[in-house]
Amino acid sequence: MAEFFALIGNTWEVVRFPLGGAACLLGAILCIVGTIGVLRFPDFYTRVHAASITDTSGAGLVLIGMALMAPHWIILVKVFCIMGFLLLTSVTSSHALVNAAHTAGLQPKIGPMGRSGHEEDEEDKH
């Protein structure tokens, strides 16, 4: 039984580095996807949604990858501290942004868009 657990431990020590690297890479790619959304979407309120991909899944996956590759338990605690702070603060600041824009009188575009017109035109109109 002890041998079995030792085997699992050894396998985990080998496997966790490629796994963590893959999670980091996937999260970074999701960051780029969110940025593409920020560049493409037509108005401010929809861009917030695209930016929240970066804030939740992109940053979350990169930090999970870092936690998998952690060489010491203190590093693990620090990575989880960053994750907690990041999830709390980025969500709060995006709410503050949207609330400030709404209070200042920026009107969102409502209703279906895309499909019928050219999305490039909608970008360039402003």
Partner 1 sequence: MTLAALFAVLIGMCLLLVRALLGPTLYDRVLAVNSFGTKTVLVIGLLGYVMGRTDFLDIAILYTLINFVATIAILKFFRYRSFQVPLARRADPAARGGDSNG
Partner 2 sequence: MAYLLGTFFAIFAFWMGNSGHYKPLMLGFAALSFAITLVLCARLKILDREGAPYVRLFGWLAYYPWLAWEVVKSNWVIIKACLRAELDISPSLVKLKTICKSDLAKVTFANSITMTPGTVTVEIEGDKLLVHGLYEANTQPEAFEEMDRRCARAADPAEKHA
Residue ranges in contact with partner 1 by CB under 8 A: 18, 21-22, 24-25, 27-29, 31-32, 34-36, 38-39, 44, 47-48, 51, 54-55, 58-59, 62-63, 65-66, 69-72, 75, 78-79, 81-82, 85-86, 89-90, 92-94, 96-97, 100-101, 103-104, 106, 126
Residue number with CB closer to partner 1 (2 or 22): 22
**Separation in Å, CA 63 to CA 11, 22, 32, 105:** 22, 12, 16, 37
Question: Would you call 98 helix, strand, or coil by DSSP?
Answer: helix
Contacts with partner 2, residue ranges (CB under 8 A): 30, 33-34, 36-37, 40-43, 45-46, 48-50, 52-53, 56-57, 74, 77-78, 81, 87-88, 91-92, 94-95, 98-99, 102, 108-115, 119, 122
Shortest distance, position 34 Cβ to partner 1, whole Å: 8
Shortest distance, position 62 Cβ to partner 2, whole Å: 14
Instruction: Identify the helix (H) or strand (E) that includes residue 17.
Output: helix 2-40
Measured in degrees and rounded to the nearest 5, phi and psi for residue 111 equal 100, 160
Question: Under 8 Å CB-to-CB from 43, ≥6 apart: which residues?
Answer: 108, 109
Nearest CA among 52, 56, 43 for reference residue 95: 52
